[in-house]
Every structure is written in structure tokens, then in C-alpha cells.
Amino acid sequence: MHSLSQEIQGFSKQRLKKQSTRVTTVTGRKLLERRSDGGEGGEAVEQVEELQEEGGGSSQDAAHDVDTLQRFKVSHVLNVAYGVSNLLPDQLVYKTLQILDLPDTDITSYLDECSSFIDQARDQDGVVLVHCNAGVSRSSSIVIGYLMLREELSFDDAYDQVKQARPSIRPNPGFYQQLQNYKH
């Protein structure tokens, strides 16, 4: 019978699986980390590459791009990201709700407050940018909910309309189900 220490000493690095891990940073950057052992006697090498979102940049990028904000005449910003600051608090009207992109977060509990802010902007003939970190889950869920609540669209119609405007949307499974079941 081998002792644990003999087993550990006899274990070969070549038997380890190559590992890659997808990481989304707090700021919404998507990274792919790969670890390899570097060959015979070599040191472990870690490679990190940035993954590009399909369909363009993140909504956080748009919220921090003054030229884009001015070009689209944005007057109001609904920031539903976690830990993302507001760029122009003296020039634009902001509402910030730090929503976590987790399937068990109750996204529908934010819809009344978010919809009221969007309505306020529309009443003032304003243009609203709704953003989170990547512009994939939280912001799209809020806009889908808004269309269901204020425009009385079905979930499928609201989802299709938002998907047409931003093809990269992908509400997390919890948000998707909550919105499908949402009764207003």
C-alpha cells in the first residue's frame, strides 16, 4: 500500500488536464484564462486573453463614451450595473440601481422604479441609455420588462424587439423565467 506522500511524489504533471476558465471581471470584461505547464521542467504559464462580446462593445463602454452619448442625444442614464460609476453626473440625469446578475436576483422587483425613471425621461422628451456591465443580461431584462409593463407587449414580443435592437442580449436563466411569468 502506497502512502499519500509517495502517491503525490509519483504524480506526473503530464497527467493533469489542461484547464481554461472563463472569467467576467467586476467591470464586465470577459477573460479566458488558460494554464499550461510549459513543457519539460518549465514553469507553469498562465495566458489571459480578452473575449470580445458578440455584437459590439459593452453597454458600460457606451455609458462612458462622451461622443456616443452626445451623438445619440442621451439625457438620462439608467445604470443597473454593479460597481460602475456615472461619468457625467453634472450633465445627465442618472438613476443607479446596483443589481447583481444572478439568476435568483428578483429582477421584476426593480421594474416599477426603473419604468418610472424611463417615463420621466420620456415625459421630458429625453433619451434614456439603460446600461449594465456587458449589456447582455440586466439592462436587456429591464428593457424587456419595461416594454411588457408600459407597452403591454407579451414577453416574446418584448424579447424579440430588444433582441432585434441588440442581438447579443442573453438574460440569465432566472431573469428569463421571471419575465416569462411576469404579470403586471
Residues carrying an active site annotation: 132
Q: Are 60 and 133 in contact (CB under 8 A)?
A: yes
User: Whole-angstrom Cα distance, residue 18 to residue 99?
Assistant: 34
Q: Are 142 and 159 in contact (CB under 8 A)?
A: no
User: Whole-angstrom Cα distance, residue 6 to residue 33?
Assistant: 31
Strand order in the sheet with 76-79: 93-96, 76-79, 128-131
Q: Tell how far CA 91 is from the center of its chain.
A: 25
Phi and psi angles of residue 102, each rounded to the nearest 5 degrees, phi first = -125, 140
User: Whole-angstrom Cα distance, residue 184 to residue 181?
Assistant: 10
**Residue 141: CB partners within 8 Å, gap ≥ 6?**
107, 171, 175, 176, 179
